Amino acid sequence: MYHESELHAFFSVEQVLKLLRKNPAFSKYCYQRTLKKGESIQLTPLTRGSFYMVEKGDFSGYYESRLTGRMLISFFQHDDIFNFPLLKERMHPVLDFIALTDAQVWVVDFNFMLSTVKLEDPRNYLQLNFLSTVQIHLGNALIRKSLDSKKRILHALVELTEKMSLLSSNQAYELPNFMTYELLAEIAGTSRGYTSRILKELRDMNVIDSSKRPWVVKDLNLLNDLLYEGT
């Protein structure tokens, strides 16, 4: 068992690039890709030849299959990884990552990455970090699925605040500029109208200011209390 801080010390674009550059073939198998807002990286079982690391920008991540349809799972940012399949038989049908801002990613040939990691990362810190991150994303998605509509919105706001916000003065948290009523409604699985109503309630309670971007969570403790109310 590891401490989270112990694993994360080895989990950043800079650390992974440092590891990969130990292989003299780095420049042949690794390159940067720039995406404009709205462009996407789509991964299917037939297009899984590359490993992606977010160097800058934000993404929304979708899972799609015949059984579930298209679902927004989570948001991704600097240092997050796309596509680290560990079992060939267990690859997801379709994963789609849409740039919410102008973005830049590192694209690494998967076979090159695996062969380098086997030599340079014998303790498998990279794989362990990826698995722990996936566990968090899927755990949050599962929790949201079990909640009622209002608490799905509250849970999404708490998750976003804890993962991607910037702490400003007076214990207020600035949410990313990309967050909109539509996007919050989508990840919460509710309508825009209902999401707008819940956000108004939160504004009236001085929990959040969503009147302009960036949204600001003013009272994270109260937001958590509302989420866990009745449990």
Q: What is the CA radius of gyration of the chain?
A: 19
Same domain, 131 and 153: no
Would you state the pLDDT for residue 177? Answer: 94
Would you state the pLDDT for residue 171? Answer: 80
> Could you list the residue range(s) of the whole structural domain that residue 153 is in?
147-228
Would you state the pLDDT for residue 85? Answer: 64
What percent of the chain lies above the pLDDT cut of 70?
92
Would you state the pLDDT for residue 160? Answer: 94
The per-residue pLDDT for range 97-121, each reduced to its tens digit, is 999 999 999 999 988 988 998 888 8
pTM: 0.89
Same domain, 153 and 65: no
Last residue of a domain, one of 109, 144, 179: 144
Same domain, 135 and 51: yes
Same domain, 130 and 202: no
Same domain, 115 and 178: no
The CATH number assigned to the domain holding 173 equals 1.10.10.10
Cα–Cα distance for residue pair 103/58, rounded to 1 Å: 7
Would you state the pLDDT for residue 1? Answer: 67
Same domain, 172 and 126: no
Same domain, 83 and 188: no
Would you state the pLDDT for residue 86? Answer: 66
Would you state the pLDDT for residue 28? Answer: 97
pLDDT class for 209, splitting at 50, 70, 90?
very high
3-state secondary structure of 157: helix
Would you state the pLDDT for residue 170? Answer: 77
The CATH number assigned to the domain holding 123 equals 2.60.120.10
The per-residue pLDDT for range 31-66, each reduced to its tens digit, is 999 999 999 999 887 777 888 999 999 999 998 888
Same domain, 136 and 65: yes
Number of compact structural domains in the chain = 2
Residue in 5, 46, 28 with CA at minimum distance from that of residue 113: 28
Same domain, 10 and 100: yes
| First-to-final CA distance of the chain | 29
